[in-house]
Chains A and B, each alone.
Chain A
Amino acid sequence: MTDEKKKEAGYEHKILSFCCNWCSYAGADLAGVSRLQMPANFRTIRVMCSSRVNPVYVFTALERGADGVIVTGCHPGDCHYARGNYFTRRRQALLEKVLDEIGFDRERVMLRWISASEGPEFADTMEEFDSTIRSKGKNPLSEEVFL
C-alpha cells in the first residue's frame, strides 16, 4: 500500500480495547466520570479477565478492519482471579512473536496494566496508543481480499 493511501484524507482509524472487568474497565469508567479528554476512536469490549482474550481474537479484530488492538488488565499480583494476567502476558509474548514472524507490525497491538484507580493513566494510555496508530494509518490487512 502506498504511503498516500495510508494517510488518506479523512480516514478515521479504529482501535479495539479489551478491558478486564475488575481493574481496567473500572479505570476506564473513572476516566469517564472524571471527564478526562480521550480520543473517540476506540471501542471497548469488557471481559471478565484479560486472560479471557485468546490471541486469535486480537488477530480477528485486525483481520476484520481494526487498526490497533489494546489489551488491558490488572497489574501483576492484583488479578481478581489471582493469576490470570500472568497468562495474559505469556499470550501477548506469543502473539507478538508470531506477528513478527509473519510480517505484521507488532506495534499495532499492545498490552498494558491499568488498575481501577488509574483513570488518568487509562486516558493517557488511550491518547498514546491512539497517536501511535494514527501515525501508522490504515491497517494493511483491512483491504486485503484474499484473507
Chain B
Amino acid sequence: MTATITIDKPLDEGVRTLLRTMLEKGTVRAVLTLRRLEDGGGVAHCLVTDPAALAEAVPLIPVMPAQGGQVLSHLTQEEPFKEPVAAVVRPCEVRGFVELIKRNQAFGDNLVLISPECPGVFPVQRASGDPMDDDIDAYWRSTSEGKGADGLRPVCTGCELFEPVGVDMTLRLVGRSDLDKALTVRLDTQRAEDMVKDLGLGKAKEDGKDPKGLEALRSARAKGRADLRAELDFTGEDMAEFSRTFGKCISCHACSKVCPICYCQMCYFEARAAAAGPAWWRNDLKRKGATRAPPGTVFFHVGRLLHMSISCVACGMCEDVCPVDIPIARIFKKVGEAAQEVFEYVPGRDPDEDIPIRTFVEDELHEVER
C-alpha cells in the first residue's frame, strides 16, 4: 500500500516547503524547479542548491517554458548526477526524459522525480510578463473540482496520461477539496519513503481513496481526446488537407528545437534543405512548373513524424512555439498514438522497454508483408 504525507501548506508553498526541507536536511544536494525571474518577468527552470533561493520558486505554475525532459537531458547528458537531485516535473516531461534516457541522451541516476497530477498548462507565451493571477486562481478551483481549466494548451485538454508514472513522489492535486490548505504527497518508491522519514514533515499515512474529481477528470480527458481526434482527420485525402495545413509553415523549425524527442544536433532535414542544388530545381520544375523555395516544408513534418512520432509524448511544446498557429501538437499526438498503437507502445511508460523500431518479435506484423 502506498503511503502519503500531508504538508499543511498549499500548492507552491507546500512544494517549496518540501524542497527546502530536503535541501536543508541534506537529503538532496540540489533541486530543479521552475522559478520566477527576479524582476517578475518570466519563468524558467532553475537548478537550486541554496534554500534561500527557493523563495521565488513556483514549482506548480501552470506553464512549461521548456520541456523538463529536455532540461534534465542537458544537465545529465555527459554524466549522471553524483549526488541526489530532486526535480519537480510534469508527467509528460518525465515521459520525455525516459525516452531520452532510452536514446542515451540522459541519465536518471540519483534523480528524485517529483511530479504532480497535472491539470495541464497554459500556452508558454503566458510565462513572460503576464501575472495571470486570476487565471491561476480559476485553474486551481477547476482542479479541485476535477474539471479542466479554460485556456489550456489544446493538447492538454486531450491528455489522458496526466497521472505521473515512474516517479518517486506524486503531488496529489486533482479533485482535492483541501487544495487551498494542504498538499498531499504520495510516496511511490521505497527511496521516497526513506527520504521523507528524516524530514520531520509528519508521519506517512496510508493513502486514502481517490477523490471523485480524479475520476471526473479522467473521463473529461477521454472525451477531450476523442474530440481532438475527430477534429483533425486527414485520412483518405490524397494528402491534400495535410499539405494545406502544413503548407503555411515558414520552416523556422522551432517545433523541433523545443521537442524533447528531437535531440539530434544536426537535423537530417536541415542538412537536406541545404543540399537541394540545381538538379533538384530542374527536376521539380519539369514536373510541376513551379516549386517552393527552399523546398522541403511539408516534407520536414512528414519526416519528423517518421523519425520521432513513435516516441511523441504529446507535451505540446511544438504547438506553443509555432509562429503561424499550425495545430502541430494535436496532429503529432494523433499520428503518434496511431503509430504507437501498432506496437502497443506508450512512450515513457517504462525505462526498460525498448523503442519499437530498435527491437522486434519474430512472429508479428505479417499484414505488411504483402
Residues of A within 8 A of B (CB): 1, 54-56, 59-60, 63-65, 76-77, 83, 86-87, 89-98, 100-105, 110-113, 140-147
In the complex, A143 Cα to B370 Cα: how many Å?
28
Closest chain A CB from B311 CB (angstroms): 11
Most chain A CB within 10 A, of B242, B306, B358, is at B306
Given contacts A94-B356, A103-B238, A104-B239, 11 further A-B contacts (CB under 8 A): A55-B306, A56-B303, A63-B299, A89-B368, A90-B356, A92-B365, A97-B342, A101-B335, A102-B242, A103-B234, A147-B297
Closest chain B CB from A67 CB (angstroms): 12
Point out the residues of chain B lying under 8 angstroms from A94, CB to CB.
Answer: 306, 310, 339, 342, 356-357
Residues of B within 8 A of A (CB): 234-243, 247, 268, 283, 287-288, 290-292, 295-299, 302-303, 305-307, 309-310, 334-335, 338-339, 342-343, 356-360, 362, 364-365, 367-370
Closest chain A CB from B33 CB (angstroms): 37
Closest chain B CB from A60 CB (angstroms): 8
In the complex, A54 Cα to B272 Cα: how many Å?
14
Point out the residues of chain B lying under 8 angstroms from A60, CB to CB.
Answer: 299
Q: Judge whether B335 and A89 touch: CB under 8 Å.
A: no
Contacts A/B (CB < 8 Å), 25 sampled = A54-B306, A55-B306, A63-B299, A64-B283, A77-B362, A86-B362, A87-B358, A89-B364, A89-B368, A93-B342, A93-B343, A94-B310, A101-B335, A102-B234, A102-B239, A102-B242, A102-B335, A103-B240, A103-B242, A141-B239, A142-B287, A144-B288, A144-B298, A146-B247, A147-B295
- A interface majority secondary structure: helix
Most chain B CB within 10 A, of A55, A77, A90, A95, is at A90
In the complex, A11 Cα to B237 Cα: how many Å?
23
Q: Judge whether A145 and B290 touch: CB under 8 Å.
A: yes
Which residue in A95, A111, A142 is a CB contact (below 8 Å) of B306?
A95
Q: Judge whether B239 and A97 touch: CB under 8 Å.
A: no
In the complex, A114 Cα to B298 Cα: how many Å?
33
Point out the residues of chain A lying under 8 angstroms from B368, CB to CB.
Answer: 89, 92-93, 96, 111
In the complex, A104 Cα to B301 Cα: how many Å?
14
Which residue in A65, A86, A103, A145 is a CB contact (below 8 Å) of B241?
A103
Most chain A CB within 10 A, of B356, B364, B370, is at B370
Point out the residues of chain B lying under 8 angstroms from A96, CB to CB.
Answer: 368
Q: Judge whether A56 and B360 touch: CB under 8 Å.
A: no
Point out the residues of chain B lying under 8 angstroms from A105, CB to CB.
Answer: 238
Query: If the complex has contacts A93-B342, A94-B342, A97-B339, are A113 and B299 also in contact, measured as CB distance less than 8 A?
Result: no
Q: Judge whether B335 and A146 touch: CB under 8 Å.
A: no
Q: Judge whether A103 and B237 touch: CB under 8 Å.
A: yes
Point out the residues of chain B lying under 8 angstroms from A65, CB to CB.
Answer: 283, 287
Query: If the complex has contacts A64-B283, A97-B339, A97-B342, are A102 and B238 also in contact, measured as CB distance less than 8 A?
Result: no
Query: If the complex has contacts A64-B283, A102-B302, are A145 and B292 also in contact, measured as CB distance less than 8 A?
Result: yes
Point out the residues of chain B lying under 8 angstroms from A1, CB to CB.
Answer: 238
Q: Judge whether A98 and B306 touch: CB under 8 Å.
A: yes
Which residue in B247, B298, B339 is a CB contact (below 8 Å) of A98?
B339
Q: Judge whether B296 and A100 touch: CB under 8 Å.
A: no
Which residue in B236, B295, B360, B370 is a CB contact (below 8 Å) of A83?
B360
Q: Judge whether B369 and A59 touch: CB under 8 Å.
A: no
Q: Judge whether A147 and B365 touch: CB under 8 Å.
A: no
Closest chain A CB from B15 CB (angstroms): 39
Closest chain A CB from B278 CB (angstroms): 15
Point out the residues of chain A lying under 8 angstroms from B334, CB to CB.
Answer: 101
Point out the residues of chain B lying under 8 angstroms from A63, CB to CB.
Answer: 299, 302
Closest chain B CB from A61 CB (angstroms): 12
In the complex, A105 Cα to B237 Cα: how many Å?
9
Q: Judge whether A111 and B339 touch: CB under 8 Å.
A: no
Query: If the complex has contacts A98-B309, A101-B235, A140-B238, are A146 and B338 also in contact, measured as CB distance less than 8 A?
Result: no
Point out the residues of chain A lying under 8 angstroms from B306, CB to CB.
Answer: 54-56, 59, 94-95, 98
In the complex, A55 Cα to B342 Cα: how many Å?
16
In the complex, A144 Cα to B242 Cα: how many Å?
12
Closest chain B CB from A137 CB (angstroms): 11
Point out the residues of chain B lying under 8 angstroms from A64, CB to CB.
Answer: 283
In the complex, A1 Cα to B106 Cα: how many Å?
47
Point out the residues of chain B lying under 8 angstroms from A97, CB to CB.
Answer: 338-339, 342
Q: Which 9 A-B pairs have the closest CB atoms?
A: A103-B237, A86-B360, A103-B234, A146-B247, A101-B335, A140-B238, A102-B242, A92-B368, A55-B306
